[in-house]
Amino acid sequence: MDEASPEELKRKWLFAAVGDKGNFFEFVIERLIEQFCGTGRCVIDAGANCGAHTATMLRTVGPTGVVFAFEPNPLLAAKLEGLMQHYPNLRVSRAALSDRSGEGQFLIATDPGYGSLHHRPQFDLTISETIPVRLARLDAFPELRTTRAVDFIQADVEGAEIALSHGASETRRLAKPLIVMEMDWAFSLPTDQAADTNLFGFLGRLGYGVHGFFGQDVSKRDLDNWNIILAHRDDPDLLAVRRACLSAGHEFFRDYRGWNPYRKFDS
């Protein structure tokens, strides 16, 4: 079987350790950012955490580009804000992206990577604090509307995937950005019918298709695809995106087992 085939990549992933399964997606996201967030682009990191992907975005767009990082957890947002003194083209917002503007409640977990607007019973999490947070629709975010068209979105919003998608429908229609999104299928789309109504049908009406990280299209709930790629059907980079996923995936299993995206912050 061809080493670069989707089947072989999926087999490697299925038999990998749990940590490597998760970091496989993060590694491929890093490679997608490097390849498709070029100089001068406008890109978004939604649910930016402490900025692992934000840092890569800043490096790839350069000083003529702009990076918007959204992070509701105030401790993590403060770390992102610390980067602004070195990167004047970084914009940090403590808003949680949603399908409405207003105020919500944000659950801070002891594992900061699982902070969410929602209690998700499938995760055995300890919630350390609940705080008020500003909700914002991406379509209505003031600074973004006056900056430039969005080229790329990376979203890791822990159960708010559908709300974010509906709140960014106009952005998607006008700018047709490439979107990489972690997907909590069990919470956001608990049934195939919900998936068809709330995701696939909605995206199809906007001209978008759903694609997996193993080099295939995704047409129904797929619990193995923890992350998905949303691309407009007219996107000239779609074939290149698929090839990049396969290439990066095989590179990860060949050379980068044990890698994680936060290692770049190690002193």
pLDDT tens readout for residues 206-235:
999 999 999 889 989 999 999 999 999 999
b/e for 66-91, b at 16 or more Cβ within 10 A? bbbbbbbbeebbebbbebeeebeebb
Q: Where are the domains of the chain?
A: 41-240
> What average pLDDT score do residues 229-258 get?
94
The arithmetic mean of pLDDT across residues 143-158, rounded, is 85
Statement: residue 190 has pLDDT above 90: no
- What would the mean pLDDT of 124-143 be, rounded to a whole number? 86
Backbone angles phi, psi at 178, to 5 degrees: -75, 135
- Average pLDDT on 37-44 reads 95
The confidence band for 1, taking pLDDT boundaries of 50, 70 and 90, is: very low
What residues contact 23, with CB distance under 8 A and at least 6 apart? 252, 256, 258, 259, 260, 261
CATH 3.40.50.150 for domain 41-240:
yes
Banded model confidence at residue 92, pLDDT cuts 50, 70, 90 = very high
| pLDDT of 155 above 60 | yes
Query: Does the structure show a pLDDT above 70 at 146?
Result: no
On the question of pLDDT at 237 being above 50, the answer is yes
Q: What is the mean pLDDT of residues 74-94?
A: 94
Q: Which among 210, 215, 202 has a CA at the least distance from the CA of 179? A: 210
Q: Above pLDDT 90, what percent of the chain?
A: 68
Residue 2 pLDDT level (bands cut at 50, 70, 90) = very low
Is the pLDDT confidence value at 55 over 90? yes
Q: Which long-range contacts link 238-242 to residues 24+ away (Cβ below 8 Å)? A: 238/211, 240/35, 241/32, 241/36, 241/178, 241/211, 242/211, 242/215
**Are 242 and 33 a contacting pair, CB within 8 Å?**
no
Could you tell me the pTM of the whole model? 0.92
Question: Where does the pLDDT of residue 115 fall: very low under 50, low under 70, confident under 90, or very high at 90 and above?
Answer: confident
User: Which comes out higher in pLDDT, residue 157 or 1?
Assistant: 157
**Per-residue model confidence (pLDDT) at position 11:** 95
Q: What is the mean pLDDT of residues 8-19?
A: 94
Q: Are 228 and 221 in contact (CB under 8 A)?
A: no
Sequence letter at residue 226? W
DSSP 261: G
Q: In this structure, what are the phi and psi dihedrals at residue 3, rounded to the nearest 5 degrees?
A: -60, -30
Rounded distance, CA 227 to CA 29, Å? 9
